[in-house]
Chain A
């Protein structure tokens, strides 16, 4: 079955550590996205990538980094510069037919990151 897989489901980070969240898709989608979700605040875009080896900052990129070396993979690193990283992180992907994501985005099941 085609889909988008995030791992791990739960992640604990100590102060000052970098951690990497995995996102893999086998939908042959060109575009991939990372969102942060905090209670009552909806989704905020961290980074997105429309093509391999290229990515752009979203609304809240500070303290995060990404790479897009393969079409299927878009890992997110939460660096020690991110002062409030505790949140639920969602990865998504979409087609990019003529720049419009037909049928919306496909989301992974999320990673809950907690600072301990």
Chain B
């Protein structure tokens, strides 16, 4: 398909790990990004990964990139209620393309 695809909803318990998945479209995409959007706010860049990397870790966040399958994932360790938000993946090839966003709900 031509769209960046994400599942729309994910619900986890506080303290568990969350894994948000994304399938992107362009095998030549140079950068891939994860953004977080809290209610009524703009998007905040969480992390990005260059296409020549397989993994990037930043504190509780781990990004995995499988270029062969054009699959990107974001793992949030020890998920907290403050992590409840919408998470967007995005790819940059010739232009920036965003997924529809995954709404993460963290239950206490």
Same complex for A and B? Answer yes
- What total of chain B residues lie within 8 Å of the partner, measured CB to CB? 20
B40 contacts A by Cβ under 8 Å: yes
Candidates B40, B41, B42, B48; contact of A103 at CB < 8 Å: B48
**1/0 contact string of A35-68 vs chain B (CB within 8 Å):** 0000011110000000000000000000000000
Residue of A nearest to B34 (CB): A104
| Main DSSP-derived SS at the A contact region | loop
| Main DSSP-derived SS at the B contact region | strand
B48 touches A110 (CB 8 A): no
Take A42-B88, A100-B30, A101-B92 as given contacts and tell me if A107 and B101 are in contact as well, using a CB distance cutoff of 8 Å.
Answer: no
For A92, the chain B residues whose CB sits under 8 A away are 42-43
A109 contacts B by Cβ under 8 Å: yes
B107 to chain A, nearest CB (A): 21
Candidates B8, B35, B100; contact of A104 at CB < 8 Å: B35
B33 to chain A, nearest CB (A): 5
Binding site for B on A (CB under 8 A): 6, 33, 40-43, 90, 92, 100-110, 112
25 A-B pairs within 8 Å (CB atoms) are namely A33-B96, A40-B8, A40-B100, A42-B99, A42-B100, A42-B101, A43-B43, A43-B98, A90-B42, A92-B42, A100-B31, A101-B92, A101-B96, A103-B48, A104-B33, A104-B35, A104-B45, A104-B48, A105-B43, A105-B96, A106-B45, A107-B35, A109-B41, A109-B42, A110-B40
Supplied contacts A101-B31, A103-B48, A110-B41, 19 more A-B pairs, CB within 8 Å: A6-B42, A42-B98, A43-B88, A100-B31, A100-B92, A101-B96, A103-B45, A104-B31, A104-B35, A104-B45, A104-B48, A104-B90, A104-B92, A104-B96, A108-B42, A109-B40, A109-B41, A109-B42, A110-B40
